[in-house]
Amino acid sequence: MSMWLGTGTLADQLLLLLLAFVLSAVIGIERERQFKSAGLRTHILVGLGATLFTLVSAYGFASLGLGAVDPSRIAAQVVTGIGFVGAGVIFVNRGNVVGLTTAASIWVTAAVGMACGAGLPLLAVAGTTLHLVTVGTLPIAERLLRRRSENQLLVRVSPTGEQLGTVLDSLATAGMHARVDDLRRRSDRDLELAVHVRGKQKDADRLLAELGSIDGVVSVTSGPIRGG
C-alpha cells in the first residue's frame, strides 16, 4: 500500500513542502538547543532545498513535455552536494574532531526532505523520530554501557616548568589513555597543558587529585569532551 495517496497536484506538492519544513525545524530545534554551529535555520533550508530538488526532479521536467525522464538523477546529486554543507561544520579543536554529529544531522535532514519530496511522508516522520531518539537517548545509554570517563584536563604549571616531567609521568602511570593535545605559555607566563584522558571514573578522580598535589602545578581543571 502506498504511504502517500496524493495525486501529485500542486496542493499535494505544497503539503509535502510544508511537512518538510516542519520536520526539518524539529531536527534544527534540537541542534539549536545544543548550541551547535548549524541550528534551526540551516536545517530548515537544507530540508526545504532537498524537497524542492526532489519535487522538481519528479514533476518539473515532465511539465515541459520532455517525455520520460529519470527523477533519480537530480536526487542523487543532492546526496553528493549536501556533503559540502556538512563538511563546513566539521573542524578540529585541540586534536578533537568536532561537529560530526551536526554534519550527520544535516545529512539526515536532507534525506527527510527527499522522502517528503518523493511522496513518502510516513517514512520522513519515522526518520525524524529515530533521529531524535538517536541524539536524545542513545548518548545516555552509551555512558551507562561504557561506565567510562572521557574528559579534557587543563593543567597549569609554574612558569619555570620544572614539574612538567612529573606531570607527564603521572599521566603515563595513571592507568588511563592520555593524549597531550596542546602545550602553550599563557599570558601570565604559566605553562598550560591540554590533555585528553579516557578511562574509568575512579582513575580519573585519582589522577586529578594526584596532579593537583604536585608542587609547581598551579591548577588542574577537568571538563567533558565536546563533540557533535
**pLDDT tens column, 110-128:** 999 999 988 899 999 999 9
Question: Do the beta carbons of residue 17 and residue 55 sit within 8 Å?
Answer: yes
Looking at the structure, do residues 19 and 124 belong to the same domain, yes or no? Answer: yes
- pLDDT higher than threshold 60 for residue 3: no
Looking at the structure, do residues 158 and 50 belong to the same domain, yes or no? Answer: no
Structural domain span for residue 172: 147-224
Q: What predicted TM-score, i.e. pTM, was given to this entire model?
A: 0.59
Looking at the structure, do residues 105 and 195 belong to the same domain, yes or no? Answer: no
Looking at the structure, do residues 21 and 86 belong to the same domain, yes or no? Answer: yes
pLDDT score for 95: 56
pLDDT score for 115: 92
Looking at the structure, do residues 15 and 56 belong to the same domain, yes or no? Answer: yes
Looking at the structure, do residues 36 and 97 belong to the same domain, yes or no? Answer: yes
What CATH number does residue 208 fall under? 3.30.70.1150
The Cα-based distances of 222 to 97, 111, 155, 174, 226 in angstroms read 19, 38, 9, 15, 12
Determine, yes or no, domain membership for 5.
Answer: no
**Across residues 44-66, what is the average pLDDT?**
82
| Number of domains the chain is built from | 2
- pLDDT higher than threshold 70 for residue 185: yes
pLDDT score for 65: 65
Please identify, among 143, 170, 187, the residue that sits at the C-terminal boundary of a domain: 143
pLDDT score for 71: 67
Looking at the structure, do residues 110 and 164 belong to the same domain, yes or no? Answer: no
